[in-house]
């Protein structure tokens, strides 16, 4: 059964405006914002509505590098709308658009499409947008130099969207603050498989193609969506008692590395489940494409992280930690990404400390001592990178993790784990901010921590006295 889970978090008041009957459309209907003004990616996302559910019907032709799709978005307006935008790169050409079954006017710009429905939409109204489109998706080279989005391979595609590359293959509201549930129905050449987020709810085959239907029934940020495809071998198992789908390219020769990945994931799931609260989704697993896929790393795609390498060491634990920090609890803006990366890096250290690696204090000292005061590492305010400077800087990962470790040293391990467990429980399936974490930490400890967090998160200098 499809569960459309209503959004929770800082925007919940907008959802509460939905009434059982639709109000008459006033004459004051206006244009939804183009871009949400995110401090890091100002043009990402759009205003005037929230997406509740995506149904993406996709036809992938890797031999021709062509993707055709029909995207059906179920949304709720947050203002009286005469016009609104969806994020979609221009290399994906739109064939037709309808709103609530009526043809709508549409024009494409470089990174988005502008939609004018036949009739204005009242604030609080539920509506449906259908977009038929197609083209040859091209990956985005963001500031790390690593491609993101839909990345064609010799037998399918490797799909990893962070930070804003979902728009390169499907139309949507491409900002982590607008989480939604998803259905992916993807057709691929026969003999290949498509692996998506969540649960496999159906498959079908004909002479030339196979179709796979995956359902993500928990709210998910667009950057966490995947439908990676290819000649995968798929193992269905359980890890730490949780149903698991582990897909890998059979050409991978490092079978020991694959086994090590599964062992690490199982250990991480048990440790984090006991430390941060129950695993927040119905299934887990991983997608491992063959070495040489030009991504250079891994991504915490919801329920099923994607990897372009085997083995992985504690990086696997890092991506599993993201299922709590980043996936279940997502950032309200890209300025808050330390809540994902810093938390998951600290969890990676925590995992290592329990499995023969450096202790938490030793990990902290290792980073702190090798970075002298003049190192640029200390210059970036990790909770306020802003201005397009995110770049997934190592400081956001490591100084973010050091913030949690410094907090642990101040309040003790048991209290920090209490804070993290409550953090997940209080914000699960929604979004959160740095200010909310500071408030939660002060409430749990009874301490005034403003100066502490200012020192670690905002000041562009190496903290003293540590």
Q: What is the pLDDT along the chain (466 residues), one digit of tens a residue?
A: 333 333 444 334 333 333 333 344 455 889 999 999 999 999 999 999 999 999 999 999 999 999 999 999 999 999 999 999 999 999 999 999 999 999 999 999 889 999 999 999 999 999 999 999 999 999 887 656 678 899 999 999 999 999 999 999 999 999 999 999 999 999 999 999 999 999 999 999 999 999 999 999 999 999 999 999 999 999 999 999 999 999 999 999 889 999 999 999 999 999 999 999 999 999 999 999 985 566 567 999 999 999 988 887 899 999 999 999 999 999 999 999 999 999 999 999 999 999 999 999 999 999 999 999 999 999 999 999 876 555 568 999 999 999 999 999 999 999 999 999 999 999 999 999 999 999 999 999 999 999 999 999 999 999 998 8
Residues 6+ apart with CB under 8 A from 121: 25, 29, 49, 77, 80, 81, 99, 127
Rounded distance between C-alpha atoms, residue 264 and residue 184, angstroms: 28
Residue-level pLDDT at 110: 83
Instruction: Among 220, 238, 257, identify where a domain stops.
Output: 220
CB neighbour burial string for 154-193, b if at least 16 within 10 angstroms, e if fewer: ebbbbbbbbbbbbbbbbbbbbbbbbbbbbbbbbbbbeebb
For residues 207 and 337, state if they share a domain: no
CA–CA distance, 159 with 165 (Å, rounded to integer): 9
In the chain the first and final C-alpha atoms are separated, in Å, by 53
Q: What is the DSSP string of 196-216?
A: ESSEEEEEEE-SSEEEEEEEE
- The CATH number for 388's domain is 1.10.390.10
Residues 200 and 335 occupy one common structural domain: no
Residues with Cβ within 8 Å of residue 244, at least 6 apart in sequence: 235, 236, 237, 238, 265, 283, 284, 285
Which of 184, 200, 220 is the endpoint of a domain?
A: 220
Assess if residue 341 is contained within a domain.
Answer: yes
How far is it, in rounded angstroms, from Cα 274 to Cα 259? 23
Residue 416 lies in a domain: yes
Choosing from 203, 220, 237, the residue where a domain stops is: 220
CATH assignment of the domain containing 35: 2.60.40.1730
Judge whether 271 lies within some domain. no
Q: What's the number of domains the chain is made of? A: 2
CB 188 within 8 A of CB 210: yes
pLDDT at 263: 96
Q: Name residues whose C-beta falls within 8 Å of residue 262's C-beta, 6 or more positions apart in sequence.
A: 239, 246, 286
Neighbour order of strands in the sheet with 112-116? 30-31, 81-87, 112-116, 105-108
53 Cα distance to chain centroid: 15
Structure token pair of residue 284? 């887990």
Residue 12 is predicted with a pLDDT of 40
Q: Are residues 188 and 61 in the same domain?
A: yes
Q: Are 289 and 306 in contact (CB under 8 A)?
A: yes
Judge whether 177 and 192 are in contact, CB under 8 Å.
Answer: no
Give the count of beta carbons closer than 10 Å to the beta carbon of residue 226.
28
Owning domain of residue 178: 30-135+169-220
The encoded tokens of residue 77 equal 């307006």
What whole-number distance in Å separates Cα of residue 152 and Cα of residue 131?
A: 23
Q: What is the pLDDT of residue 28?
A: 83
Cβ partners under 8 Å of residue 114, min gap 6: 34, 83, 84, 85, 106, 107, 108
214 and 336 in a single domain? The answer is no
Quick one: CA dihedral 245, 316, 344, 417, positive or negative? positive
Is residue 313 a part of any domain in this protein?
no
Give dist(CA 122, CA 98) in Å, integer.
17
Beta sheet of 233-239, edge-to-edge order? 233-239, 242-248, 284-288, 306-307, 298-299
Please check whether residue 288 lies inside any domain of the structure.
Answer: no
CA distance 190 to 33: 42
- CA pair distance 21, 191, nearest whole angstrom: 48
DSSP letter assigned to residue 2: -
- Helix residue spans in 286-433 (DSSP H): 314-321, 338-354, 360-370, 394-411, 413-427
Has residue 124 been placed in a domain?
Answer: yes
Whole-angstrom distance, CA of residue 350 vs CA of residue 89: 40
8 Å CB contact between 291 and 226: no
Whether residue 89 is found in the same domain as residue 211: yes
**Is 215 within a domain?**
yes
Distance (Å, whole) CA 55 – CA 73: 6
In-domain check, residue 463: no
User: What residues contact 342, with CB distance under 8 A and at least 6 apart?
Assistant: 382, 396, 397, 398, 399, 400, 401, 403, 404
């Amino acid at each position: 059964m499809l569960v459309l889970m209503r959004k929770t978090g800082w925007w919940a008041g907008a959802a509460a405006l939905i009434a059982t009957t639709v109000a008459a459309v006033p004459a004051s209907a206006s244009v939804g914002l183009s871009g949400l003004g995110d401090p890091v990616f100002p043009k990402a996302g759009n205003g005037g509505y929230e997406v509740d559910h995506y149904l993406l019907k996709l036809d992938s032709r890797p031999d021709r590098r062509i993707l055709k799709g029909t995207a059906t978005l179920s949304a709720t307006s947050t203002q009286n709308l005469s016009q609104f935008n969806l994020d979609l790169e221009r290399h994906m050409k739109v064939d037709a658009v309808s709103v609530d079954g009526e043809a709508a006017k549409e024009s494409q710009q470089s990174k988005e499409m502008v939609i004018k429905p036949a009739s204005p939409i009242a604030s609080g109204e539920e509506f449906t947008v259908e977009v038929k489109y197609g083209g040859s998706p091209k990956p985005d080279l963001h500031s790390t130099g690593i491609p993101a989005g839909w990345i064609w391979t010799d037998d399918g595609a490797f799909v990893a969207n962070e930070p804003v590359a979902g728009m390169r293959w499907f139309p949507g509201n491409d900002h982590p603050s607008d989480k939604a549930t998803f259905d992916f129905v993807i057709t691929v050449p026969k003999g290949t498989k498509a692996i998506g987020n969540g649960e496999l709810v159906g498959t079908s085959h004909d002479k030339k193609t196979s179709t796979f239907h995956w359902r993500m029934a928990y709210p998910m940020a667009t950057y966490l969506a995947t439908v990676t495809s290819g000649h995968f071998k798929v193992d269905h198992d359980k890890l730490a008692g949780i149903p698991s789908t582990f897909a890998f390219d059979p050409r991978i020769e490092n079978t020991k590395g694959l086994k090590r990945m599964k062992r690490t994931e199982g250990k991480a799931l048990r440790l984090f489940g006991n430390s941060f609260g129950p695993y927040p989704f119905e299934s887990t697993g991983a997608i491992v494409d063959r070495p040489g896929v030009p991504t250079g790393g891994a991504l915490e795609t919801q329920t099923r992280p994607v990897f372009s390498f085997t083995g992985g060491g504690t990086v696997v634990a890092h991506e599993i930690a993201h299922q709590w920090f980043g996936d279940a609890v997502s950032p309200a803006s890209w300025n808050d990404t330390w809540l994902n990366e810093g938390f998951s890096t600290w969890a990676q250290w925590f995992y290592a400390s329990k499995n023969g690696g450096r202790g938490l204090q030793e990990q902290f000292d290792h980073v702190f001592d090798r970075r002298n005061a003049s190192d640029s590492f200390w210059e970036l305010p990790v909770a306020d990178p802003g201005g397009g400077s995110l770049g997934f800087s190592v400081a956001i990962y490591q100084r973010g993790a050091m913030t949690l470790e410094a907090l642990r040293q101040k309040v003790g391990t048991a209290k920090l784990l209490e804070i993290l467990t409550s953090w997940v429980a209080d914000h699960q399936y929604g979004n959160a901010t740095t200010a909310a974490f500071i408030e939660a930490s002060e409430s749990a400890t009874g301490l005034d921590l403003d100066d502490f967090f200012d020192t670690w998160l905002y000041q562009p200098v190496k903290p003293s006295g540590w």
